[in-house]
Structure 1
Amino acid sequence: MPSIPLDTALSPDEAERLDALHDHAILDTPPAPDFDALARLAAHACGTPVAAIGLLDRDRLWFKARVGVAHAALPLEASLADDTARALGGLLCVPDLTEDPRFRDHPVRQMLPDWHFYAGAPIEDEAGHVLGVICVAAPEARGLEAGQRQALTDIARLSWHAIDAHAQRRTLARQAITDPLTGLANRAHFDQALTVELAHAMRRGEPFTVLVMDLDGFKEVNDGFGHAAGVEVLRAVAERIQAQVRTGDVVARFGVDEFGVVMRHGGRDDAQVLARRIVRAVANPIALSSGDTVGVGISVGIAAYDDDVDSPRTLLAQADQALFEAKRENEKRWKLFIGIR
């Protein structure tokens, strides 16, 4: 059975399958003990020197785990993944690739000329999307006993659970450092980023700055238009702040209407330019889903790393002091902390 041509447009089903695979964010990830164990188990159960867990990307079969396989991936047309995915009964077993007319001239014979025996089972998610295959191979022609067939399909099922567990761990890890309302970093992530950046600056002497921000007029919007409107405002402000920073800078939401930025590789002047952009961006009117338009302002306190800074707490205290002065003066909306010399 020929593999699906790769130069055709994706069918809706194939696009949906690829979306399901990519949603699990497992492609091109490092080796993992649970997947390695499943590949070894497949090789042991089937008595083969070769076993692999492969994931079906658009144009390649990428191996998450492999035993006796030198390739990290194969071109999809040079693998038996598509044929395995379509196999009747959920298992493809080919005693001898050189004798089976379906595969005698298959590109896999050129890629892996020493393979004769092949067996594989599809790895399906709960919606029936085939995300990959678990396969075994051997240089000699042979078959699988009933118990080995069952073992291979069972390992395919376990492989799906391992993929799902990987995605759940990733989601939990992301949630642990993310503000659920805005999608920005949370305070824990901000504190970690600040600690790492301070340690780097103390070693290398490279400048960086911290900005802490507080919305002006948010309470009036929240009280006047309701909690849902307040949520829309916070999300709009978060998007506007995020749009002003550079890749690598960390933007976080601290409290109800408090935000912060760890600005890497930027000194006082750079931070003041950023503060000016943020103030201008946030000041633009915000259109609510109700049809109303509201406005808020933002005050910014800036503290830059120097030799007097010995801890994250010191830098944050300086930024908080600058923020207090910015709100008190109420002139240009941002203030740079200047220590007493």
Structure 2
Amino acid sequence: MRQSVSCPVPANEPQRVASLYAYDILDSLPEMDFDTLASVAANALKMPAAVIGLMDSERLWFKSQIGLGVTHLDRSIAFCAHAIMRPDEVLVSEDLTKDARFVHNPLVTNAPNLRFYAGAPLINQQGYALGTIAVADTKPRTLSDAEKQLLKDFAKLVILAIESRKTATQLQKLAMTDQLTGLPNRVHFERVLNAEISHAKRSKIAFKLYLMDLDNFKWINDTFGHPAGDEVLQEVSQRMLNEIRAEDLLARLGGDEFGLIVRGDCSQFKDTITSRMAYAVSAPLTLSNGNEVNIGMSIGSVAFSESVDSIGELLGVADELLYQQKRK
């Protein structure tokens, strides 16, 4: 009969998990900074296995691993679940077969038949244990005080890498986001559009591009001022978002111009998406100063085809159709 394996949980578990999720790092692709740290830790401590593990609510996910060959473990069998219970200490089990906490653990009784484990908690600036950097071996080992301190130092370096990654991600997001509406900006839109063109050429799955321009927007700015215009742009953006699918991309391209990429087979609604969006935008809008305004929207659209297959051509055709409608 399989022995049960207990799994301790920190008292601040909800806050700890929320802090981890804020880094948006779980299930991300391998990155050199973390792989290098895991490799150096294994070599410095002369261990065949090393991991940088982040403790999710139900699993230990490895941002980097050497010598284990898996991407994650069930939390109930993760040694790191015990390590994060004492954030200020390095958890060392010199012989896992003689440790009452782990003697029945399947990582010990079955392949890879681990016998030694040492893990240093990854403590972020808020004091939460996000996971561990750990080393392991298939034979009993000891760890000197100097080696324990070295593992702690590696943990600090991992946290620095995590924090730096978060900052870089935030800066990249800011560079790709329109600050007024929160929508993707033109740079983001054109990158995605290029990717969609490449995908459509390979897969032969079409998509449709829409360019939209607000009617009567200049009058609102001139009459009520630019703060009122900003209110309109924010409200209109939300109304348009409510009319599209999660897999479609809506962006503010600048001023009162918006772009939309409708992915996949849009034949079922290609004749109604423009009317839905135009109807939503044209509903009366009450400004914070109490004035009610009405605004319209002109739309130009073009479907990807072999004859119109570059970003310049697609935008050019959609733009021309947009202004044909606007002139009417």
Answering whether residue 7 of structure 2 is matched by residue 3 of structure 1, we say yes
Say if 1:300 and 1:268 are closer, same or farther in 2 by CA, change over 3 A: farther
Matched position secondary structure for 2:25: coil
The 5 A counterparts of 1:98-109 are: 98-105=97-104, 109=108
CA distance in 1, matches of 2:62, 2:34: 10
Say if 1:293 and 1:25 are closer, same or farther in 2 by CA, change over 3 A: same
Quote how far apart the aligned CAs of 1:224 are: 4.1
When the two structures are aligned, how many residues end up with a matched partner?
324
CA distance in 2, matches of 1:211, 1:204: 21
CA distance in 2, matches of 1:269, 1:58: 40
The 5 A counterparts of 1:57-206 are: 57-87=56-86, 89-105=88-104, 109-110=108-109, 114-201=113-200
Quote how far apart the aligned CAs of 1:197 are: 3.6
The 5 A counterparts of 1:1-341 are: 3-4=7-8, 13-87=12-86, 89-105=88-104, 109-110=108-109, 114-201=113-200, 207-265=206-264, 270-289=269-288, 293-306=292-305, 308-309=307-308, 311-329=310-328
Report percent identity of matched pairs.
39
Say if 1:201 and 1:66 are closer, same or farther in 2 by CA, change over 3 A: closer
CA distance in 1, matches of 2:291, 2:53: 52
Matched position secondary structure for 1:29: coil
Q: Which amino acid aligns with 1:318?
A: V
CA distance in 2, matches of 1:38, 1:29: 17
Say if 1:245 and 1:115 are closer, same or farther in 2 by CA, change over 3 A: same
- Is the Cα contact below 8 Å between 1:213 and 1:258 reproduced in 2? yes
CA distance in 2, matches of 1:113, 1:312: 52
CA distance in 2, matches of 1:52, 1:19: 22
TM-score after normalising by structure 2: 0.86
Say if 1:130 and 1:224 are closer, same or farther in 2 by CA, change over 3 A: farther
CA distance in 1, matches of 2:116, 2:307: 69
* Further displaced range: 120-129 or 286-295: 286-295
Quote how far apart the aligned CAs of 1:324 are: 2.0
- What are the Cα deviations for residues 102-134 of structure 1, in whole angstroms up to 9, with x where unaligned? 444556544667222221110011101111111
Q: Which amino acid aligns with 2:54?
A: L
Matched position secondary structure for 1:69: coil
Matched position secondary structure for 2:54: strand
Q: Which amino acid aligns with 1:4?
A: P
Matched position secondary structure for 2:98: coil
Quote how far apart the aligned CAs of 1:269 are: 8.8
Say if 1:245 and 1:112 are closer, same or farther in 2 by CA, change over 3 A: same
CA distance in 1, matches of 2:203, 2:136: 52
- Is the Cα contact below 8 Å between 1:268 and 1:304 reproduced in 2? no
Q: Which amino acid aligns with 1:259?
A: F
Say if 1:200 and 1:163 are closer, same or farther in 2 by CA, change over 3 A: closer
CA distance in 2, matches of 1:108, 1:206: 45
Quote how far apart the aligned CAs of 1:277 are: 1.0
* Further displaced range: 38-47 or 184-193: 184-193
TM-score after normalising by structure 1: 0.83
Q: Which amino acid aligns with 1:136?
A: V
CA distance in 2, matches of 1:215, 1:276: 14
- Is the Cα contact below 8 Å between 1:80 and 1:108 reproduced in 2? no
- Is the Cα contact below 8 Å between 2:189 and 2:251 reproduced in 1? yes
